[in-house]
Structure 1
Amino acid sequence: MRVKQVLNNSVVLGIDDSGIEVVLLGPGIGFRAAVGDRIDPSTVQRTFVPEGIGSVERLAAMVEEISIDAVTAAEEVVRLGRERLGRHVTYRVLIPLADHLGVALQRARQGAAIEYPLRSELSYLYPAELEFARQAVELLRQRTGVDLPAGEAVPIAMHFVNAQFGSDDMRDYLRITEALQQILGIIEEEYGLRFDHQSIDVARFVTHLRFLFVRNRRDPVALPEEDATRDPDTLLDTIRSARPRQYASAVRIARLLEGLFGWTVDSDEILYLCLHVARLTDTRRPAPQSPGKQE
């Protein structure tokens, strides 16, 4: 491994014998180092590759401002996140999370706190990620001795939601969250309902929508295998005739997704959306009228 570029005394860009570029961290690793010098492995504390995060230079620029302590804490949180949430959590989340944790830990030491939006939405749209993030806050307290505010679970959860959708851009999280809210709002508006956002039916619907987002953001994922004897168009026609209102809602949701994200929502997906809308609306009562409103 040789030095390609020195960022500072603790961060260098390295290149191995196969030509692969990596970012290397270690106290003094860049001190008096020059381009082309061999790197002593004993000076390397952390090695990063830009997995899905952009160029090595971008990764190095982010790492340059992050303390080793924050990186170490983030590594443990990501490792635990992979165990608790699944293998879709890759180490691409490590540097953005470490960057956030470095700032959050410093802010907590100074007694400052930030109120994050979307906390209530997280509780029903991403319950698993939020619950894990709460555990991560406690883990960070144990490892660093710093009491992070409970609200720090919100941005930590956001990082792991983004990991599911294969993104490290918080704008993607916000767009997807807003879309989920709009979809539930469409159904509540059209049927005059107010959902219990903690209910199993809402959780199933949101899970299906999240699967749809992942499927359209990543390589296509096959839907559950269908009965070879089933004609999907015939079944859709049957559902459309039996549940015209729910079918119309499913089409409206599909058009919303196409408009927001440029996706093509096929007839099979409209069928699944229709069935979910029917499940949500079959056993719900209309929303109560506002006080003072008379029939």
Structure 2
Amino acid sequence: MKIAKILNNNVVIALSENNQELVVMGRGLAFQKKVNENVEQDKIEKIFELRSNELISRLSELLSHIPTSIMKVCDSIISVARCQLGELNENIYIALTDHCNYAIERQKKGLAISNTMMWEIQRLYPKEYRLGLEGLKLIEQELQVTLPIDEAGFIALHFVNAQLTGDMPIVMEIMTIMHEVMNIVKYHFNIEYQEDTLDYQRFVTHLKFFTHRMMSRNTVPNDDISMHIVIKENYPLSWRCAEKISQFLLNKYQRELTDEERMFLVIHIERIRKKRRD
């Protein structure tokens, strides 16, 4: 394995025997080294063998300006997640490491950000949220930085996103269903979406995750029935729209929504509807 590019003393781009680019990490791995020299095997701590050259390039750029300690702890978090969630998109290495690096920087400056989707994340993605909590513990243990609980939700969303990828036909079908649902809401209330608003972005994010669950047949079980009743009574217009969506999905995709799924749809639809009214 030969050095192709030196990013810093601890990270290099190396070429394997079959000429594949690898990102290689290790304390002092590149100290006093030059391009085309062999990588010292006993100093290697981690090898990232990504399939995409673009991801290799982006990871290289990221590792050139962040501490390797953050990359190592994020790699540990991802390894734990893979054991519980299965295969994850390789982009998680860039996305999660970049996020955690900025989260740690913000925390040191006292600039923590609140997660407005915490309630939904905890209920819709409990497994990913628990992994987020484990991630916070690892960061505290390895880096001596205590991040706020909101970050567990952000980490959870990175894991959800990493599970959403698939072959192009699957991606296209997800986009089609999202578009169909958004059109039902649009024409039901005769509204134009304000795409620059936070409520619209939340709606789109929710629909992406919702559609993926629908296609993978992962239902959200009914939980607090009393909450469903409260939502239905307080937001009757949005509830009726959600029922129309539910009927559409049943007729076209043979997918019946639980009351829990319908409730979350109502909450997002109501935000969109109120924005139009305001």
Q: Secondary structure at the match of 2:24?
A: strand
How far does residue 149 in structure 1 lie from its aligned partner after superposition? 0.7
- Quote the Cα distance in structure 2 between the aligned partners of 1:13 and 1:252: 51
- Residue number in structure 2 paired with 1:5: 5
- Residue number in structure 2 paired with 1:166: 165
- Quote the Cα distance in structure 2 between the aligned partners of 1:279 and 1:147: 33
- Quote the Cα distance in structure 2 between the aligned partners of 1:252 and 1:7: 53
Distance 1:151 1:213, change over 3 A: same
- Residue number in structure 1 paired with 2:146: 147
Distance 1:88 1:39, change over 3 A: closer
Q: Secondary structure at the match of 2:158?
A: helix
| 1:139-288 to 2 correspondences below 5 Å | 139-166=138-165, 179=178, 209-212=211-214, 249=245, 252=248, 270-273=252-255, 275-276=256-257
Q: Give 1:134's aligned amino acid.
A: L
Q: Secondary structure at the match of 1:159?
A: helix
How far does residue 271 in structure 1 lie from its aligned partner after superposition? 4.3
Distance 1:269 1:123, change over 3 A: farther
CA contact (8 A) 2:62 2:98 kept: yes
- Quote the Cα distance in structure 2 between the aligned partners of 1:98 and 1:126: 21
- Residue number in structure 2 paired with 1:64: 64
- Residue number in structure 2 paired with 1:198: none
- Residue number in structure 2 paired with 1:292: none
Q: Give 2:39's aligned amino acid.
A: I
Cα deviation, 1:2-28, whole Å, max 9, x if unaligned, reads 111222333221001111110112333
CA contact (8 A) 1:73 1:143 kept: yes
Distance 1:250 1:109, change over 3 A: closer
Q: Secondary structure at the match of 2:254?
A: helix
| Number of residue-to-residue matches in the alignment | 210
Per residue, is there more helix in 1 or in 2?
A: 2
Cα deviation, 1:73-117, whole Å, max 9, x if unaligned, reads 112211221233x21336542332122222222332333311234
- Residue number in structure 2 paired with 1:195: none
CA contact (8 A) 2:160 2:209 kept: no
Unaligned runs of 5+ in 1: 191-205, 216-244, 254-267, 282-295
Q: Give 1:210's aligned amino acid.
A: H
- Quote the Cα distance in structure 1 between the aligned partners of 2:116 and 2:18: 45
How far does residue 159 in structure 1 lie from its aligned partner after superposition? 0.9
- Quote the Cα distance in structure 1 between the aligned partners of 2:148 and 2:209: 29
Q: Give 2:68's aligned amino acid.
A: I
CA contact (8 A) 2:3 2:38 kept: yes
Q: Secondary structure at the match of 1:276?
A: coil
Distance 1:276 1:108, change over 3 A: closer
Q: Give 1:60's aligned amino acid.
A: S
The reply on whether 1:89 has 2:88 as its aligned counterpart is: yes
